[in-house]
Structure 1
């Protein structure tokens, strides 16, 4: 198993995995394009890249679904977002402001940094953006 560093994917690919995780089911590529406001050809290319890397299964003309590897990584991504959002809200940003701000930089924060922040915050369970699963917070984190 490959260890999660938190820096494996580009910010755009992070958006794809988080969106697929939120949906939790087979998602049509047209829905992905629409939600992420990208051209369908860009969606197809990105999905093919994610599929080659083992994060998603793509059934042409049917849709896209996270693999087990993709599901575990997406869980880390959502937790990273929620932990960073909670941290910013502790420094005076509203939950909505913190969520928006974190979306701008979260892809550049490593798992070791997230583990330190999570530990320092006492392993929180909820942020303004959602629940925090401690299986991804401070754990070994393998794909």
Structure 2
């Protein structure tokens, strides 16, 4: 995957990629629309825009799947969320508050900044929402932690 900086996609597209990864990389358009509480045409438009990035593949009437590159990028997005949530919890926010606050601004935080926060936190392997994988970062001494 090309070098990522974390600003490639809009917050809504980031959420869709994370959603897909959490569902083993596959979902039907109608399920996505229902879970995001939007019209199916809105999801179809977003899927069309994401398809040209090479992060997803869409087969009409079958569903959407993450490509290998899409899985890697979505992994970074989840890692970013979990590191930001963990960082915020160090400042007195509850688990729920930290997760919600991280969701509000995570799309505006660069990969470089996430790598620096990760290092300052001691390369954590668990966040508030789950395991933190380090296979998309260059800051950790062991990338397959």
Task: Specify the TM-score bucket, using the shorter chain as the normaliser.
Answer: over 0.9
Q: State how far apart, in whole Å, the 2-side matches of 1:40 and 1:134 are.
A: 34
Does residue 138 of structure 1 match 2:118? Answer: no
Alpha-carbon offset, residue 25 of structure 1: 4.2
Q: State how far apart, in whole Å, the 1-side matches of 2:101 and 2:35 are.
A: 19
Q: Which of 1 and 2 has higher RCO (CA within 8 Å, sep 6+)?
A: 1
Residue in 2 aligned with 1:113? 113
**Unaligned stretches of 5+ residues in structure 2:** 141-145
Residue in 2 aligned with 1:83? 83
Contact 1:123 1:137 in 2 (8 A): no
The equivalences for 1:1-143 within 5 A come to 1-138=1-138
Provide the TM-score with structure 1 as the length reference.
Answer: 0.94
Q: State how far apart, in whole Å, the 2-side matches of 1:93 and 1:139 are.
A: 26
Contact 2:25 2:71 in 1 (8 A): no
Alpha-carbon offset, residue 139 of structure 1: 5.1
Aligned residues: 140
**Unaligned stretches of 5+ residues in structure 1:** none
Contact 1:115 1:137 in 2 (8 A): yes
Change (3 A) 1:12 1:127: same
